[in-house]
Amino acid sequence: MILEVAVLNVKSGRTQDFEKDFQIATQYISSIEGYLKHSLQKCIEFENQYLLLVEWTSVEAHEVGFRQSPQYQQWKALLHDYYNPFPQVLHYESI
């Protein structure tokens, strides 16, 4: 299992719209082979910051299976305009 981690900084005043669109976008990521589960956490200290955690079977399931899919284009169209700056996405494995 690989854990994708992204800190999402949403533009000021857009958090409610982001949360609604994220709910719609979950259908796209969850339909990908190799997707296991995800969670979106809202920061208590910074109201416009979120932590996205996605479990994948492999890095390739995310980097190739998702990012090169038509579903990713829909995910991107819904969500990418909310971020400032664009998030760094990292992958972790258990030791």
User: How would you write the pLDDT of the chain (95 residues) with one tens digit per residue?
Assistant: 999 999 999 999 999 999 999 999 999 999 999 999 999 999 999 999 999 999 999 999 999 999 999 999 999 999 999 999 999 999 999 99
**Domain assignments of the chain as residue spans, ordered by start:** 2-93
pTM of the predicted model over 0.75: yes
CA distances from 48 to 6, 14, 30, 35, 51 (A): 14, 8, 24, 26, 10
Is 2-93 assigned to CATH 3.30.70.100?
yes
Which residues have a Cβ under 8 Å from the Cβ of 87 and sit 6 or more positions away?
Answer: 6, 7, 8, 9, 52
> Which H or E run includes 58?
none
